[in-house]
Amino acid sequence: MYRKVLLLLSISILLSCNDGDVFVSKLEFPETLEYCTGSDDLIIYTIKNSPYESLSVKLPLNNETYLTTEGLFSTSLSSTYTFNFRTYSGDPSNIFCNSLPPTTPEITSNSEANNGLVNFETILEEDDNDGIPAHLEDNNTDGDNDPTTDPTDTDNDGIPNYLDSDDDGDNVPTINENPDPNGDGELSDALDTDLDGTPDYLDVDDDNDGTLTRYEDTNSDLNPTNDISDVIIGPDYLNSSVTTTTIIDSYRDHTKKQIYTCFIDIENMILINSSDDTELINEEYSLGIITTSISNYTYTVDFN
């Protein structure tokens, strides 16, 4: 099965002819680039329709993990894993992601690089998607207005509030505790069921009945919202007249949004035309960016 991901591409290369003359040439391609995974390899490519041309990189299949793994990675080009600039007699759209490539269009020109290094730099940004801007989820005790340094962790579960989808650890997700009812980014109107001055999303006992919200989970499914003794009042954790206690010292799985941005460049690459040995060279240039978004990444949080 093939998968496609959008990639931004901006590429400038130097054209060096056999007579030693060197001049600057710029390849203009669409910003949208795609990748395919087959059984053995990963192909990143972009196509231009006027005229029909493509740029593509064939890499080992395990390179796909670089797109969603933080860090720096490199792969050497070789006779097997190459960078290609091709021209065609027609639209090549069905060539790259088709397990049985069509016989047409014909490749009218092919320049290939089997030397050089493909470099990946992948950065991860995360958000707990709890309806509260990250800068409002930090008590800013260090005075730097940066929630990532000395971050606030209300429930001491090891996950700072700005990345914690359940800030108070009561097994009711923050976004379901109405932290910002009117969505204006100002939390003074956050729901405070028991009017104790602590909003529900930071309150371990939302109805102030002496039983932790996490313990008002009679069916023990790590979800206090579906334990209801009085349908008129609602869930027991918001009903101060119900104090039934079920000891639940574990957290439900948390979720967050992940955005991986992978910057790709190639260094010390020489493209050689297969028909006339014309060389297109560049010591280093930016190939582009792949952005992969995971909206609801789910993970387990150990109870401390």
Domain locations along the chain: 7-124+257-294, 130-164+167-250
Q: Is the pLDDT of residue 25 over 50?
A: no
Q: Could you tell me the two tokens for 298?
A: 């789910």
Closest-CA residue to 136 (of 204, 196, 203, 185):
185
List Cβ neighbours of 251 (8 Å cut-off, separation of 6 or more). Answer: 157, 166, 169, 171, 222, 300, 301, 302, 303
Name the pLDDT band for 34 (thresholds 50, 70, 90): confident
Q: With beta carbons less than 8 A apart as the criterion, state whether 43 and 57 touch.
A: yes
pTM assigned to the model: 0.83
pLDDT for residue 27:
65
Task: Say what percent of the chain tops pLDDT 90.
Answer: 74
Q: Is the pLDDT of residue 72 over 90?
A: yes
Q: Is the pLDDT of residue 11 over 60?
A: no
Q: Which residue has the tokens 């493209």?
A: 271
Q: How far apart are CA 163 and CA 143, in angstroms?
A: 19
Per-residue b or e along 158-172, where b marks 16 or more CB atoms closer than 10 Å to that residue's CB: ebbbbbbbbbbbbbb
Q: Could you tell me the two tokens for 40?
A: 């053995």
Q: Is the pLDDT of residue 7 over 60?
A: no
185 or 171, greater pLDDT: 171
pLDDT for residue 284:
78
pLDDT for residue 14:
38
Q: Is the pLDDT of residue 59 over 80?
A: yes
Residue 147 gets the label, from left (phi > 0), alpha (psi -120 to 50) or beta, of alpha
Q: Is the pLDDT of residue 163 over 60?
A: yes
Q: Average per-residue pLDDT in the chain? A: 89
Measured CA angle at 279 (ends 277, 285), to 5 deg: 150
pLDDT for residue 299:
97
